[in-house]
Structures are given as structure tokens and as C-alpha cells.
Chain A
Amino acid sequence: MELPHVVLVTVVAESVLEHRLVRDLRDVGAHGWTITDARGRGSRGVRADEFEGDNVRLETLVTQEMADRFLAVLARDYFPLYAVVAWTTPAAVVRPDKYA
């Protein structure tokens, strides 16, 4: 069965950024997302919040256009200042209008 495609955007960031990321994600029009706790290491190697857990992993299914806008926000407001990585993968879904 040929399923329509959307974009899965995954962001791993320091946990203090969770609220801000969700707010920015909402602003580009995403309708939903999933957040899990994560830990690991990156090139920056700095953490300021031992007490809330190391990182969060944010995943969201969005259209290509929303993904582009969100990544632009990340590149402008987050990458220069915080420990954040993000990537996209194509995802096949059954209900594409849910994510538009």
C-alpha cells in the first residue's frame, strides 16, 4: 500500500529548552509532538541542569514546509547558543491531513 509522505523532525536538546522548543514548534503550525527524556554527549559538552535530567528528544510529524520553517528557527535561535541537534527523515503515514 502506497502511503503519503510527511516529514519526521527530530530534535535532541538540553532539557531546559523544552518549553521554548514546544512554543516555537506550535508557532510554525505543528499540531502534535512527542517528547522523551534522553541523555548523551555532543560536541559542546556543556550542561547546566543536572536536576531536570540531561536532554529531551522532541519528535513531530509535519509537512515539508513546516519542517523547513522550524529548522530555520532552530538555526537562527538555538544552534549558535545551545546544545541542540536536529534532523529530518521522511515518514509514511496513513492520515496525512492530520499533520498539515
Chain B
Amino acid sequence: METWSLAWTNLTSPPVLAFVLGLMATLIGSDLRLPEPVYQLLTVYLLLGIGIKGGVALRAAPPGEVLGPVLATLVLGVVIPVLAFWVLRVGTRLGPVDRAAVSAHYGSTSLVTFTAATVFFTSSGVSYEGFVTTLLAVLEVPAIVIGLLLAGRHTARSASWGESLREVLTGRSVVLLVGGLLIGFVTGAGGYERVQPFFGDMFTGVLTLFLLEMGVIAARRLRDLPQAGFGLVVFALVFPIFAGVLGISAGLVSGLSIGGAATLGVLAASASYIAAPAAVRLALPEANPGYYLTASLGITFPFNLILGIPLYLAIAERLGG
């Protein structure tokens, strides 16, 4: 069946296999680690590359085609964290601050999952609108704000989310992503030609290296798994699928292609662990990273990477076909 062969192709691709390698190596106690500066460089490369390519596509897209999906994404950015907050209340015994912290993470998005998905779609011949990077940028921030607001009444630190917001908006993720979009938009396809061998041809290779380190990091988070509790583990596996379906539906309704809707589904289903944790740690220090980071990084990220991406594509094909 097409879907299974696609899932297999994803699982046996170098980026995903490198992730599994990093995971396994750390679980058996290896000291495998990329040097910190190297890892930082790879992050810059991925963020900038994704941004520039998205900006180039954005310039070429008719505004009417972009507006609908952007609005749909904004709505998702508000609805998903609120939904997560409520689901967690029903399904787990976490307190309101912890639930708000987790909701902020799940409403926001994972650049790496997005990158892996676009690489997978391209290599499988699935076409998607290039401007989806704009949707990535749109989805990064609102959920974090919503999450902090949801915690509002219950937290000891008052009005500290100005600081968190500044941390998020001036942080590397957002600056490089939005900056990259601007660069791509201004330079256009012609300008991009000159960096295509660097940001285009080498992209999957760099992603492979990056995911190796992500496997190491995810494995270290898995050590906190017993602390997370059964309810949260189930949430971390099931909620992304639910959010993914919401994203796919929103994408199809707002006029995206099947590939584009699948990408929006991936964005909706993924959970942040770069932009959100720092913001949440500053604003909600009473929230336990053993919950939000373990769920987002230790469970949801590997799930989305290995199983989720092909699954969301299959769902998008089913719903959109």
C-alpha cells in the first residue's frame, strides 16, 4: 500500500536513521555528542535555509493564495493550546501551571519536524506550496502567549511575560526564520540561485547531522519519562494526531494542496522545544520541565518524526482526495 511504502521510505531515510542512531547510542551510554558550537551552527543553517527558501516561494505566490492559510494558521495557534489545556485537565492530574506550560509547547511548532517533513515530501514527489514556511513563522509565537495567559492567575510571577515575549521574539529561532523569509522575499528566485548548492543540495545532509544530535538530546529527556506519568505519555502520543487532523482540515479548507495541508498538519501536530522552553522557564518557573520537555522532546518529537509525518500525509490524501 502506498502509505506503508512511504512510511518505510521515511523510516529508512538518512535523517531519521541518524536520529535513531543518536537515540540508541545515548541509551546504551555512549558519550556521543556534537560540539556545542557545531550544533549551534547547524541550527543557524537550518533556520536560515528554511526561511530563505520560504521567502523565495512567498514572493512568487499570489497574495490571495497565502492569506487564507495564514489566517487559518493564526486560528490554529489560538485553538490548539486552549484545547490542549482542556484535554490535559481531563486526562491528567497536572496542575494549571504545568498544563499551561505544556499547552504553550503544543500550540507552538517544531522547526525540525517541519524541516524533516518538507524534505520527506520533496523526496517522495509530493508537492506542497513553498510559502508554508510563512505558516511556520506565524505559528511559532501566538501559542506561547496563550499558554502564558492560561497560566496567568495561577502563577507567582506577575507580568513577567513581557520579558518572555521579548526572549521569544529576539531569540535566534524567530529572528533567523523571519529574517530568512525577508531575505528570500527580497532576493527572489534569481538571487537564490547563487546559494542553491549550499542551502539546497546540502540541506538533507546537514539535517542528517542535526538529527543525530537531536536523537542524543531526546534520549536524555526520555530518562525523565517515569516522572511524566501515564496520562501525559498518552497525551503526547494522541494529541498530536488530533491536532494534525485539525491542521490538515484547516489547510484543505483554506485552499492548500494536499501536500500543503499535510504540512500544516505537521505544524499543528508538532510541539516546540526550542522557542517555547526558554520563554516558559522564565515566565512559569513553577512548571516542571520534566513534564513539558519530556512530552514535547522525548515523546512527541520522535513520534512525529518516525510515524507522524507519513501518517499526516496519508490523512491529508484521504481527506483531500
Contact = CB atoms under 8 A, between A and B. Distances in A.
Interface of A: 14, 16-17, 19-20, 46-53, 81-82
Given A46-B290, A47-B289, A81 B278 contact: no
A19 B279 CA distance: 13
Contacts of B65: none
B278 A46 contact: no
Closest 3 CB pairs of A and B: A81-B285, A48-B281, A48-B289
B285 A82 contact: yes
Contact of A81 (B220, B274, B280, B286): B286
Size bracket, chain B contacts: 20 to 34
B98 to A, nearest CB: 13
Contact of A46 (B156, B274, B280, B289): B289
Interface of B: 36, 43, 156-157, 163, 167, 217, 220, 273-274, 277-278, 280-282, 285-286, 288-290, 292-293, 297
Contacts of B290: 46
Given A48-B293, A53-B36, A16 B288 contact: no
Interface centre among B43, B278, B285, B286 (most CB of A within 10 A): B285
Contacts of B157: 81
A81 B297 CA distance: 23
A16 B278 contact: yes
A83 to B, nearest CB: 10
B163 A20 contact: yes
Contacts of A50: 217, 220, 297
Contacts of A49: 277-278, 281
27 contacts: A16-B167, A16-B278, A16-B281, A17-B282, A19-B167, A20-B163, A46-B288, A47-B289, A48-B277, A48-B278, A48-B281, A48-B289, A48-B292, A48-B293, A49-B277, A49-B278, A50-B217, A50-B220, A51-B43, A51-B274, A51-B277, A51-B278, A53-B36, A81-B156, A81-B157, A81-B285, A82-B285
B36 A14 contact: no
